[in-house]
Amino acid sequence: MEEDLPGRYLDAAAVLLGLPIQPAHREAVEAAFAVLLAQGRLVTEFALPEDIDAAPRFRP
Amino acid sequence: MKLYEYSASALAAMIRAGEVSAEAVLQAHIARIEALDPELNCFTDKTYSRAAAEAAAVDAMLARGAPVGPLAGVPFAVKNLFDITGLPTRAGSKIRRSAAPALADAPHIVRLCRAGAVLLGGLNMDEFAYGFVTENAHDGPTRNPHDVARIAGGSSGGSAAAVAAGFAPITLGSDTNGSIRLPAGLTGIFGLKPTYGRITRAGTFPFVDSFDHLGPFARTAADLALVYDLLQDEDRIGVLHDAPAGPLRVAMLDDWFRFGASTEMLEAVETVAQFFGPMETAVLPEARRARAAAFCITAFEGGQLHKQDLIARPEDFDPATRPRLIAGALQPAETIYQAQRFRAWFHQQALNLFERFDLLLAPATPCTAPLIGQATLRLGGEDLPLRPNIGLYTQPISFIGLPVVCVPVASLGLPRGVQLIAAPGREALALAAAARLEAAGILSAKVVP
C-alpha cells in the first residue's frame, strides 16, 4: 500500500474536507495531484530562515 | 491605413480634430470583427447597441464643442471576467452563464468610458482564468491571428488576439500567473501586468486572491501607458512623463529564465538587452521553487474558491480545469503555508537584485505560439505537458507582484514577447523603456493583415 499513499491521502482528504471525487474524474485528479505533490515538495524541502513570515496580507 | 489599424491615441486625435467620426471608427471595427471573428473566436459577447450609443454621444459632444476625454470614440473590449452591465460575468465558464446580469460596469470600464471609449463586448478566456491556452471547452479556442492553427495564449487569449487582429486598439485582461504576458507575447502586442494591488480588482470575477492582477493590451507603448494611467490612482502625473531620464541598468535573467528557451526567444531577449548597453546577466535565486510555490497556491486558492460548485456540479466544469481545482483544494496545508513563506523570502531576493539593476529581462514564453491542441512542449531535452509548463517564465514574477511590460520584438516569423520586469511601483520605468525600444524600431505590433 505504500506506493498508493497519494491515493489514500486523496480518499481521506476528499471525505474529511467534503469534496467528493467522482469515479469518472478520479484518474485526472490523481494525475493533477501527483504534479502538485512534486511541485509542493520543491517548496517544503527548502530550508527557509525561521524569521520569515507568510506573505498574505490581512485586509480589514 | 485602415481605421482599424490606428492606435487608440491616433484615433482619438483624429476624432477630436473632426477628421473622422466616432461612429465611422466604430463601424470600421465592427466590420472587421464580423469579417474575421467567426474564425478567430475572440468575442463571447457583443455590445454593439451600447457601443453605437456611446459613439453617438461622443460625436454629439464634439458637435456642440464640449470637451471629450483622451479616448474619445476609441473602441475597446474586455476579458469576460469584467462586469458589463446587463450581462452575466461568465469568466469563461458554463456555470456562470446563468449568473444574474451585472448591475453595473466594472470600475475599469467606467473609467475608460468616462474617457470617451466605446465598449464592443466581452472576450474569450480559459475557464475561470485557469490556463495559458484559451482552448475553452464551452466557447471554443481563440485562434492566433498570425497563424490560425496556433493558440493565442491565455488566459486572456481573446483580449490579445482582438488587439492583434484590429478588432480594437486596446483591451483589458487579467494576469494571475502570466495571463496577460503570455498572450501578448504569442500574438505580438504590448501587455502590462502592473504591480500587485496597483489597480482595483472590484467588479471582476476572481481566481487567486494572492496573485490576481488586471491590466491592458495595446499595439503601442503610449496606448498602454495611457490606459494604465486611466486605471490607476497612485501616480499623479502621466507615467511616461514620470520616467527617469538617462541610461538604465538592465540585466538578462539567467538560469531558470533560460531553461528550455528556444534560440529565437533568447535572441529576442538579447536584442532588447543590447539596446540598453553591454549585456549583463543576473540570477534571481530559486526561481524554480518560486514557480512551484505559485503553482500550488494557485491550485489551492482556485480550488477553494470553486469548492461548492465542484461538489454540486462538477460535470459543468471544463475538463481541463476541473481536476486541477479538485486536486488543488485537497493539498496539505503545510504546502500552502510554506509556499506563502517562500513568497516573502523570494520577494526579498528580487528586491536585492533591484539594488543593482533597474530592469530585468526574460522571455515571455519558451517558444513561439504552439499549435492548438498541442499536448507537449520540449523543454531542456524533455517533452513536458504544455498547459502547465508554458508559463514557466511568467509565474515566478507574478508570484511576487512585480510590474512587467511584455513587448513584441520585431520578427520575421511568429511573434516573440520579452518581459521588461521592474521593481514594485516602477511601471513608469518599464513603460518608458518599452517606448524607447519602440522608437528605435526594435519592437513591432502591427495589425495582422
Angle between helices B427-439 and B263-275 (to 10 degrees): 100
pTM over 0.95? The answer is yes
Residues of B whose CB is below 8 A from A48: 338, 341-342, 345
Decide if B339 touches A, using CB distance below 8 A: yes
pLDDT, tens digit, 9 for 90 and up, residues B328-380: 999 999 999 999 999 999 999 999 999 999 999 999 999 999 999 999 999 88
* Short-list B34, B404, B414, B23, CA closest to B224: B404
ipTM score of complex:
0.95
Backbone angles phi, psi at B275, to 5 degrees: -60, -35
Is B299 inside any structural domain?
A: no
- Asked if A40 lies within 8 A of B323 by C-beta distance, the reply is no
Compute how many other C-beta atoms are within 10 angstroms of the C-beta atom of residue B412. Answer: 5
B146: containing domain: 3-292+328-439
Contacts of A23 in chain B (CB under 8 A): none
| Residue B304: inside a domain | no
- Give which of B445, B439, B377, B376 is closest to B415, Cα–Cα: B445
Calculate the CA B11 to chain-centre distance: 22
| B58: in domain | yes
Grid coordinates standing for B91? 469568466
- What is the mean pLDDT of the segment spanning B291-296? 98
Among residues B7, B9, B155, B398, the one annotated as catalytic is B155
Decide if B449 is inside a domain.
no
Instruction: Calculate how close chain B gets to A13, using CA atoms only, in Å.
Output: 6
B7 is catalytic: no
Residue B186 domain-assigned (yes or no): yes
- Yes or no, beta carbons of A55 and B335 under 8 Å apart: no
Q: Is residue B321 in some structural domain?
A: no
* % of residues, chain B, pLDDT over 90: 94
CATH of the domain at B144: 3.90.1300.10
B365 within a domain of the structure (yes/no): yes
Say which range, B45-59, B83-97, B372-386, has the weakest mean pLDDT: B372-386
> How many domains, chain B?
1
Contact criterion met (CB < 8 Å) for B330 and A19: yes
Looking at residues B69-75, what average pLDDT do you find?
98
**CA–CA distances in Å: residue B163 to residues B224, B345, B441:** 12, 37, 20
Question: What pLDDT is stored for residue A59 in this prediction?
Answer: 63
Reply yes or no on whether the pLDDT at B237 is more than 50: no
Contacts A39 to B, Cβ<8 Å: 292-293, 295-296
The residue of chain B nearest to residue A54, with distances taken between CA atoms, is B341
Nearest CA in chain B to A20: B311
**pLDDT surpassing 60 at residue B414:** yes
Residue B185 forms part of a structural domain: yes
Cell of B218: 495595446
pLDDT at position B352: 97
User: Is B2 in the active site?
Assistant: no
Say how far apart CA B445 and CA B338 lie, in whole Å.
41
Task: Write down the pLDDT at residue B238.
Answer: 52
Query: Taking chain A (60 residues) in consecutive chunks of 10 residues, what is each chunk's mean pLDDT?
Result: 84 97 97 97 97 77
Residues 6+ apart with CB under 8 A from B299: A32, A36, B324, B325, B327, B328, B329, B331
Residue holding cell 505560439? B369
The answer, yes or no, to whether residue B247 has pLDDT greater than 80, is yes
Q: Which of residues 16-55 of A touch B (CB under 8 A)?
A: 17-22, 25, 28-33, 35-36, 39-40, 42-44, 46, 48-49, 52-55
CA A49 from chain center: how many Å? 23
- Inform me whether the C-beta atom of residue A15 falls under 8 Å from chain B C-beta atoms: no
User: What's the pLDDT at B244?
Assistant: 62
Alpha carbon distance B152, B352 (integer Å):
35
B168-226 per-position pLDDT tens digit: 999 999 999 999 999 999 999 999 999 999 999 999 999 999 999 999 999 999 999 99
Mean pLDDT, chain B, integer: 96
Write out pLDDT tens, residues B255-292.
999 999 999 999 999 999 999 999 899 999 999 999 99
